[in-house]
Amino acid sequence: MPSTSKPLTWLLVGPGDIATRRVAPALLAIPDSRLVAICGRAGSPKAAALATRTGHPAVFDDYDRALAESGADAVYVATQPRLHATMVCRALAAGKHVFCEKPLGRDTGECLAMIRARRASGLVAGCSNYRLFTSQFRTTRRLIEEGRIGRLVGGAAVDYEPFYNPSGQTLRLSDGLSPILTLGFYLINIAQHLFGMPEAVFAMLSAFNPDQEPGRDVDDLDNLLLRFLGGRQFAIRLNLTSHARIRHSYEFFGTDGRIVWPGAPPHFDLPIEVVTNIARSVADSTTGASGAEPPNWHLPMIADFIAAVREGRPPLCTFESATETALITDALFRSAASGRLERVTPLAEALAD
């Protein structure tokens, strides 16, 4: 087992956009953390370029060699979704703690394999949802638990933005690049944490490909409905068809009022509002300093993971929670194909199969 008597050392795999902008800076900023190695594709300059910006950790272009020779305690998997399952399982087999970017896998089957590998290893593993660490989410959960809007009965979220594709890769469903997996993961996972697991879901998906990109087959206009115990509902709309200003917001409906996120992370850091007869902003519900640049959203999430390793506990963002999100998204894809409401398989049932 990796030592807990020294800073947790990291192998960062996949030196792309998210690793460069958020993951590597967070690994460097946390006092109990040290980036010792970066692994990228053979022939790509990205790993070496990131190494020059992060204190010159070791650079590898072979993953198995990096696992064997880096000396890292933990692996941060920031590759494309189609590689997550194999890289996570190989890291666990090598005795490394693992943190993986979302989505955990392309489907439930991949996620279940990773849960089983983690449980067999006894190591700590997690899957990214940094939005659970924002003040917006934490304040919302507290207000709901305090009964400030009465009984929680429903909600809605929208995310309207053009595709963000800095690598220029072809966006294919088979690679796990549907917006339901890449953007919807966050919205669905937040709903899980506030409502529990839905009983059933309904989805309508369309693919317009407004820029007529060759080979692209992912959906880009999605309407998703989650139905929970007692008839509670959460609706999600994803729109990636428009070259227009980003809109990203949430609402949570209670019997005595609403909680509104008028501009949600990561694009915005606006205070939430409690709406009863008079709307009022909640002053302590932003994550960064007023007027400042948005914070590194990944930093508190990675700090929690490091603390989980030290304390021998699960992180807030677990493989189990990410797999429940996969069970929901699989049901959404089934609904889009069938045109019917589809049951969501509970995690315990999926693991028992």
Domain CATH number, residue 141? 3.30.360.10
Three-state secondary structure call for residue 238: strand
State the Cα–Cα distance between residues 164 and 167, nearest whole angstrom: 9
95 in the same domain as 35: yes
Q: Is residue 353 part of a domain?
A: no
For residue 144 the two structure tokens come to 């709901």
For residue 6 the two structure tokens come to 């020294």
230 in the same domain as 240: yes
337 in the same domain as 209: yes
Q: Is residue 351 part of a domain?
A: no
150 in the same domain as 260: yes
Q: How many CB atoms are closer than 10 A to CB 305?
A: 26
Strand order in 33-39's β-sheet? 58-60, 33-39, 8-13, 74-77, 97-100, 125-127
CATH number of 14's domain: 3.40.50.720
77 in the same domain as 214: no
77 in the same domain as 45: yes
The answer to whether the peptide bond before residue 103 is cis (omega within 30 degrees of 0) is: yes
Type of residue numbered 221: L
Q: Is residue 352 part of a domain?
A: no
State the Cα–Cα distance between residues 212 and 205, nearest whole angstrom: 18
245 in the same domain as 153: yes
142 in the same domain as 104: no
Find out whether 240 and 179 touch, Cβ atoms under 8 Å. yes
The CA angle 185-165-80, to the nearest 5 degrees, is 60
Q: Is residue 257 part of a domain?
A: yes
Q: Is residue 321 part of a domain?
A: no
Find out whether 26 and 91 touch, Cβ atoms under 8 Å. no
99 in the same domain as 153: no
Tokens 């993971």 locate to 305
**pLDDT by residue, tens only, the chain of 353 residues:** 444 469 999 999 999 999 999 999 999 999 999 999 999 999 889 999 999 999 999 999 999 999 999 999 999 999 999 999 999 999 999 999 999 999 999 999 999 999 999 999 999 999 999 999 999 999 999 999 999 999 999 999 999 999 989 888 999 999 999 999 999 999 999 999 999 999 999 999 999 999 999 999 999 999 999 999 999 999 999 999 999 999 999 999 999 999 999 999 999 999 999 998 876 767 677 877 545 567 899 999 999 999 999 999 999 999 999 999 999 999 999 999 999 999 999 999 999 98
Our CA dihedral for 201, 206, 207, 209, rounded to 10 degrees, sits at -120
State the Cα–Cα distance between residues 352 and 202, nearest whole angstrom: 25
72 in the same domain as 38: yes
Which of 162, 212, 190, 178 has its CA nearest to residue 82? 178
Distances (CA, A) of 70 to 94, 306, 352: 12, 18, 36
For residue 7 the two structure tokens come to 């800073």
The total number of structural domains that make up the chain: 2
Domain enclosing residue 37, as ranges: 8-130+298-316
153 in the same domain as 255: yes
